[in-house]
Amino acid sequence: MDSFRWIRTGRREVLGHRDGVTIDTSGTSQLTTAAGKMLPDLNAAMTDRIWLAATRDVHAATAPVFGMVLVRDRLDMQQAIAAGRAWQTLHLAATAEGVAAQPLNQPVEMIDRNQMLGRNDEFGPALATFARTDGWRPTFVFRLGYPIREALRSPRRPLEDVVKR
């Protein structure tokens, strides 16, 4: 439910919030995007099923490159901020070169979720296998590739709504 609160599908919701993950930028076809904006919003369970299928069958299946930003301690605030800056720099550089970039950070988020719920964590060890380096932990996972079509721009809030003087 926490993730679902950030997914914006309906036109009114997209324009009203101007944040979160919008259907405009989700990588769906133009027809699916238009239909999604006109139809009633889906519930969390259906949205999760569609998102999971798209991540598994499209986003992950077609990505030529996966990457991770690694830190020594994911919970150290200075390292978290440095990792965020590294991602921003990488994303901007990729975009300038015509390369699309998308966060795929659910595996990292699941490490914390499993710990919070006292569940066995299979995500941390799996990511460590990909990282192949001792003492470093993934804090951010992403994919890169050349887009087959240009995505719509994310709606943004007016500057006066986010900057205080």
Domains contained in the chain, number: 2
Residues 140 and 83 grouped into a single domain: yes
The residue out of 61, 82, 98 marking a domain boundary is: 61
Domain assignment present for residue 160? The answer is no
Domain assignment present for residue 165? The answer is no
Of 33-42, 125-134, 147-156, give the range with the top mean pLDDT.
125-134
Residue 15 is inside which H or E element, if any? helix 11-17
113: domain range?
64-145
Range with the lowest mean pLDDT among 10-14, 30-34, 57-61, 137-141? 10-14
Residues 6+ apart with CB under 8 A from 54: 26, 27, 28
Residues 75 and 136 grouped into a single domain: yes
Residues 121 and 79 grouped into a single domain: yes
Residues 31 and 85 grouped into a single domain: no
> Over the stretch 2-22, which tens digit does the pLDDT of each residue have?
777 777 777 777 778 888 778
